[in-house]
Amino acid sequence: MNRIGVCPGTFDPITNGHLDIVNRSLKFFDTVIVAVARNPQKAPLFDIKERLEMITDSTKGMTGVQVEAFDGLLVDYLKRKHAHGIIRGLRAVSDFEYEMQMAMMNRNLDQSIETLFLMPSVEYSYLTSTIIKNVASYGGNIEGLVPPLVARRLRDTFRSAP
């Protein structure tokens, strides 16, 4: 049986912390779908096509990883994909309350959905896409915190900003 997990997020941009979670989740699932949300409530720096491109490039060496965009309720997406669970990273206690609420709502919407929480490796425990964008916007060094293509795209984006 092919056990499918979905790792959802905005990934604006993907970081090495995200990739750490995706890679480690392959211990629990045969296939991990990195599901990129088109979240109308957020104003992403990169459009959906760019985010999909960066994630696909960053995961090309990971067997069992697929990258797709999705709209709507996550539980509906999981049903369409015949997925068995949601994969979420928890960096700090501050993440827990929100993530627990989302997990409980997803379970309320579909009792068969389970959420697997993974802690990132220590070297990525403080990383967020927002922090990465802030550092990059001031020309700070983000090497080793994001994949090479992401670092280039961030440098190019902020270099051309007014």
**pLDDT for position 92:** 80
**pLDDT for position 162:** 59
End-to-end CA, the chain: 52
**pLDDT for position 29:** 97
CB 87 within 8 A of CB 6: yes
Polymer length in residues for the chain? 162
CA distance 106 to 112: 9
CA torsion, ordered 38, 44, 47, 52, to nearest 10 deg: -70
**pLDDT for position 161:** 63
CA distance 131 to 128: 5
| DSSP one-letter string for 45-77 | SS-HHHHHHHHHHHTTT-TTEEEEEE-S-HHHH
**pLDDT for position 70:** 96
pTM: 0.93
Residue 118 CB contacts under 8 Å (≥ 6 apart), including other chains: 21, 24, 25, 87, 88, 89, 90
**pLDDT for position 137:** 96
Q: Which residues of the chain have pLDDT under 70?
A: 161-162
For domain 4-125, which CATH number applies: 3.40.50.1820, 2.40.30.260, 3.40.50.620, 2.60.40.10? 3.40.50.620
**pLDDT for position 118:** 96
Active site residues: 18, 42, 91, 129
